[in-house]
């Protein structure tokens, strides 16, 4: 759960960088955040669900 908070914080930093900094820096940070999001998704998508109906 803490890593999700860090992803949102990183996305906020990317938005601030896009607003205040260069376009190249913002795109690089955006790509890094997207890689982290995909890695988080793949980590949780492989978890098995213990469902009982």
Q: pLDDT per position in the chain (53 positions), as tens? A: 678 899 899 999 999 999 998 889 999 999 999 999 998 888 888 777 788 88
- Per-residue pLDDT, 29: 92
53 part of a folded domain: no
pTM of the model as a whole: 0.75
3-state secondary structure of 53: coil
What's the CA gap between 41 and 33, in Å, rounded? 12
Q: Which helix (H) or strand (E) holds 13?
A: helix 2-20
Residue with tokens 């803490």: 2
Query: Positive or negative CA dihedral for 32, 35, 41, 47?
Result: negative
- Per-residue pLDDT, 32: 94
50 part of a folded domain: no
- Per-residue pLDDT, 47: 74
3-state secondary structure of 8: helix
Instruction: Identify the domain containing residue 10 by its residue range.
Output: 2-41
Specify the number of domains making up the chain: 1
């Amino acid at each position: 759960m803490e890593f999700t908070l860090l992803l949102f914080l990183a996305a906020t930093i990317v938005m601030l960088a896009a607003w205040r900094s260069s376009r190249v820096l913002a795109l690089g940070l955006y790509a890094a955040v997207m890689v982290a999001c995909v890695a988080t998704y793949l980590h949780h998508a492989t978890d098995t669900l213990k469902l009982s109906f």
